[in-house]
Amino acid sequence: MKIHIKNGRLVDPVNNFDAKADLFIAAGRVAAVGKAPAGFSANRVIDAAGLVVCPGLIDLSARLREPGFEYKATLESEMLAAAAGGVTSLACPPDTDPVLDEPGLVEMLKHRAKTLNLAHVYPIGALTVGLSGEQLTEMAELRDAGCVGFSHADVPLQDSQVLWRALQYAATFDFRVWLRPQDGYLSKDGVAHDGEVATRLGLPGIPAFAETVAIATIIEIMRATGTRVHLCRLSTREGVDMVRTAKSDGLPLSCDVGIHHVHLSEMDLGYFDAHCHLQPPLRSARDRDALRQGLKDGTIDAICSDHTPVDEDSKLLPFAESEAGATGLELLLPLTLKWALETKLPLAQALARITREPARILGLDAGHLSEGHTADICVFDAEHYSTVSAAALKSQGKNTPFLGIELPGKVRYTLLQGQVVYDAGND
Amino acid sequence: MQLKPQVTADTALVGIHTGGVWLAERLHAALGIALPLGVLDISFYRDDFDKTGLHPQIKPTQIPFEVDGRHIVLVDDVLYTGRTVRGAMNELFDYGRPASISLAVLIDRGGRELPVAAQYVGARLEVPQGHMLVLDRDEHGKLRLKLDA
Amino acid sequence: MRNPQLNEKGELQHLLTIEGLPREVLTHILDTATSFVGVTAREVKKVPLLRGKSVFNLFFEASTRTRTTFEIAAKRLSADVINLNIAVSSSTKGETLLDTVDNLSAMHADMFVVRHAQSGAPHLIASHVASHLHVVNAGDGRHAHPTQGLLDLYTIRHFKKDFTRLSVAIVGDVLHSRVARSLIHALTIMGTPDIRVIGPMTLIPSGAEKLGVKVFYDLEQGLRDVDVVVMLRLQNERMRGALLPSAQEFFKYYGLTPEKLALAKPDAIVMHPGPLNRGVEIDSAVADGSHAVILSQVTFGIAVRMAVMSILAGN
């Protein structure tokens, strides 16, 4: 299969390329940029006039809900959602049922994903068995089975001695450990940011310092062990400041933010909107602005969707009883574009947060369009606005605070290893 | 005045908000009635509650005398469909069992929808359907009849 | 976003919270309640306003007292009252909240009076039911207890007339109190210039100042020259865990005694939503003393609930 993508605006943040150029794809790889290779004869020509052609998006956190939660979503539905969202690589956290703590489970997931062949799936293994915070998993075995990192998902690791041992053991093999910084005791029973809105609505709060206390613990252990750590879903202004300092101290620390937290704040809870029940909680407008600043100055490396499909019944409950999370794979690009427009950020810099940077954190040679490289590509219309609707979402989870909101950015084609896995024209 | 000869020590006047109360106040003084004046706001007894909802301004009903065994004269400004009088009678009965109820109105404009009749009528007027005739107070506090289309 | 309590004509469709309601709406409810106070004082304490209507008391959290006041109010409006005590715990799987509501709607309910342990449950129900149905929040989690707020407002107006010159102190467990939140909103809307909350830091929610109140951690300072003292009930379960060391220590520092009350204005009134914890938040000498208007609150509560139900049913 040879594909010629012509007349598009090619944006490649790794190669610092942003100009009109044709792309030639053969044998699953980028054959040439600009001029056709000698003797190139395309089986298919995609006219990308007026469209942006960029590396396929890389999502640092997408729950596919398999195994264990097939009533919320299946691998099929969510991989289709990824393709429709222009996402060609995704990392999935270990909070499945059973938890991804055994090589067999990881191999099965990789195999299932491979069969569907709609996106590359990179499992993050559990740091402790069953995420119960006691026994370390066989990290090296899990790595051999395909895990690219280890995490404790959203489950607090209460015992800081276990955390210390886990970071030591991971450092032994130079594994990156992904941690969502939130102190389990301080956040106990909490469902919303401990502030004005939670006070008004009478919702149990999670204080901002539940995050900073956890970051402080992690950073201090990192200083001793030298472990590479990726902090997931930063949510507070103070947290951003701590990461900034730690990075300037030279610690091997990276971090991401969920795309919803870039746009929303506690105010969006409105009258108990369960779609805004997220983990970490939506915090104050000041925190959100600090997250945006952190993204802009590079303190925050990447944006992820933190895709969490939730079935309707689990959202149609009083706020505190509803399940946290929002669907995100198909909104990652539109919401990133919206952020770029609002902050007047050049497109290439915005796209770097969902291509180049996550690739670096995952340790992948991906997120660029160099000649000879795997052709994972997203072709989208940045000017096209459409209204988010449950019907239009491919994900089985229709749970998003952005239902009914008009957003920029429409994916036209997604290519995985040189094959068209999504074509909006067929929708 | 037709009413005067009927007044006894057991006669009580009850005005229906709002115009009826103004008239009742005058009658009460003119007839020299011993029992204090009663006032009714029939908002809680209206039969059109399902259509129009609760009246935005309700005045408290005050019946400062025993209703049992009294001869009660209900006073209203305009008698029309008879529905207000029905509501007023229902409310009165929630206070007790009067010996009799009679009705005094300033204007009878016809158009009855219930078997209600006034014993004492100031005047009879023809008012086209769809018009509102009410007793009103002008800026000097003087009573006047007001006709609204 | 449209206020979920109002219908498309801007009339009150549900009563879910006092927050965000116009002053005119509150005044209308209080004025209407005045007329109902007259009704409840007479021989036949009943008016035919809600004849033929079905009011469902949906109590997902037990409260005999509140349920009874709503039941009396509905019956005095001639409504048919159906009481349902639905014990639920989040661990009990089975019929969901909205399934229950759908079922009862099919029984031709006209009004739901909802009490639920979770903040926001009445909002969820209101957003789900058919448009002819009315939802009255009878207390949800820590969020709101609007009829209690209104009866407190009625009581204050009855004894103090003008809201715009008052100092009101709310004392105790503000953190978990829907009563406090509703009263704070009500007083703010009515223009009360000085609203204070008093309690230990563990029982004052963070950002309380944003609600428009002054926070005091010292009872004696907070009570100085106030016109109204509202004592909150301290739930027994708050005594366990780390919120408070003991009931004795709480009473010593935050319990209302005659000596502490003497710091308020000489004609100050003392209110309490009940049931009282004598010797925990309030001394018997105060609860039974001349400043207490706690029983008036109960009486006014019926009239206020009648007013709310009849206004909603008419919209």
The answer to whether C32 contacts chain B (CB < 8 Å) is: yes
Enclosing domain of residue B90: 4-148
Residue B1: which pLDDT band, with cuts at 50, 70 and 90?
low
Residue for token pair 């190139």 = A40
> How many structural domains does chain B have?
1
User: What pLDDT score does B89 carry?
Assistant: 96
- Cα angle A192-A195-A196, degrees, rounded to a multiple of 5: 110
Picking from A332, B61, A16, the residue whose alpha carbon sits closest to that of residue C35 is B61
Identity of the residue numbered C46: K
Return the H-helix or E-strand segment holding A18: strand A17-20
CA R_g for chain C: 19
Alpha-carbon gap: C294 to the closest alpha carbon of chain B (Å): 24
User: What pLDDT score does C238 carry?
Assistant: 72
CB C53 within 8 A of CB C111: yes
User: What pLDDT score does A67 carry?
Assistant: 87
Nearest CB to A200 within list C90, C141, C211: C211
Residues of C in contact with B62 (CB under 8 A): 38
The answer to whether C6 contacts chain B (CB < 8 Å) is: no
Residues of C in contact with B94 (CB under 8 A): 42-44, 46-47
User: What pLDDT score does A290 carry?
Assistant: 98
Tell me whether residue A12 is one of the annotated catalytic residues.
Answer: no
Interface test with B, best of C35, C51, C111, C300 (most B CBs within 10 A): C35
CATH number for the domain spanning B142: value is 3.40.50.2020
- The answer to whether residues C268 and C217 belong to one domain is yes
Return the H-helix or E-strand segment holding C82: strand C80-85
Q: Spell out the alpha helix ranges (H) of A36-149.
A: 75-84, 103-116, 139-145
- The answer to whether residues C158 and C284 belong to one domain is yes
On whether residue C121 sits in a domain, the answer given is: yes
On whether residue C221 sits in a domain, the answer given is: yes
CA R_g for chain A: 21
- The answer to whether residues C154 and C289 belong to one domain is yes
DSSP for C37-57? HHHHHSSS---STTTT-EEEE
Residues 6+ apart with CB under 8 A from A48: A5, A6, A7, A8, A9, A379, A412
Sign of dihedral through CA atoms A186, A189, A192, A198? negative
- The answer to whether residues C60 and C46 belong to one domain is yes
Count of helix runs (H) and strand runs (E) in chain A? 13, 20
How many CB atoms are closer than 10 A to CB C10?
12
User: What pLDDT score does C89 carry?
Assistant: 47
Asked if the model's pLDDT at residue B15 lies above 70, the reply is yes
The answer to whether the Cβ–Cβ distance between B94 and C37 falls below 8 Å is: no
What average pLDDT does the segment B62-88 reach?
95
Nearest CB to B60 within list C11, C34, C46: C34
CATH number for the domain spanning C72: value is 3.40.50.1370
- The answer to whether residues C223 and C160 belong to one domain is yes
The rounded distance, in Å, linking the Cα atoms of A84 and A393 is 9
The answer to whether C35 contacts chain B (CB < 8 Å) is: yes
User: What pLDDT score does A246 carry?
Assistant: 98
The answer to whether the Cβ–Cβ distance between C47 and B45 falls below 8 Å is: yes
CA R_g for chain B: 15
Alpha-carbon gap: C308 to the closest alpha carbon of chain B (Å): 11
CA B131 to chain CA centroid, Å, is 19
Residue for token pair 């995609």 = A46
Three-state SS at A340? helix
The answer to whether C2 contacts chain A (CB < 8 Å) is: no
- What Å distances lie between residue B53 and B43, B57, B89, C267, C309, CA to CA? 9, 12, 20, 39, 11
Enclosing domain of residue C62: 23-145+298-314
Residues of C in contact with A276 (CB under 8 A): none
- The answer to whether residues C305 and C247 belong to one domain is no
> How many structural domains does chain C have?
2
On whether residue C18 sits in a domain, the answer given is: no
Q: Which chains touch B (3 or more CB pairs under 8 A)?
A: C
Picking from A104, A89, A87, A97, the residue whose alpha carbon sits closest to that of residue A146 is A104
Residue B4: which pLDDT band, with cuts at 50, 70 and 90?
confident
Find the chain A residues whose C-beta atoms sit closer than 8 A to any C-beta of C.
Answer: 194-196, 198-205, 207, 270-272, 313, 316-321
User: What pLDDT score does A398 carry?
Assistant: 97
A13-26 pLDDT tens trace: 999 999 999 999 99
The rounded distance, in Å, linking the Cα atoms of C115 and C70 is 11
- The answer to whether residues C152 and C260 belong to one domain is yes
Alpha-carbon gap: A407 to the closest alpha carbon of chain C (Å): 19
Residue B147: which pLDDT band, with cuts at 50, 70 and 90?
confident
On whether residue C281 sits in a domain, the answer given is: yes
Low-confidence residues in chain C, pLDDT < 50: 89-91
Catalytic residue (choose from A287, A301, A306, A376): A306
- The answer to whether residues C162 and C132 belong to one domain is no
Residue for token pair 């909006």 = A424
Residue for token pair 């009850």 = B14
Identity of the residue numbered A166: A
- The answer to whether residues C275 and C195 belong to one domain is yes
Residues of C in contact with B52 (CB under 8 A): 314
The answer to whether the Cβ–Cβ distance between C49 and B60 falls below 8 Å is: no
pLDDT in tens, chain A (427 residues): 899 999 999 999 999 999 999 999 999 999 999 999 999 999 999 999 999 999 999 999 999 988 888 888 899 999 999 999 999 999 999 999 999 999 999 999 999 999 999 999 999 999 999 999 999 999 999 999 999 999 999 999 999 999 999 999 999 999 999 999 999 999 999 999 999 999 999 999 999 999 999 999 999 999 999 999 999 999 999 999 999 999 999 999 999 999 999 999 999 999 999 999 999 999 999 999 999 999 999 999 999 999 999 999 999 999 999 999 999 999 999 999 999 999 999 999 999 999 999 999 999 999 999 999 999 999 999 999 999 999 999 999 999 999 999 999 999 999 999 999 999 998 8
- The answer to whether residues C280 and C200 belong to one domain is yes
On whether residue C91 sits in a domain, the answer given is: yes
- The answer to whether residues C27 and C138 belong to one domain is yes
On whether residue C74 sits in a domain, the answer given is: yes
The pTM score is 0.92
- The answer to whether residues C189 and C274 belong to one domain is yes
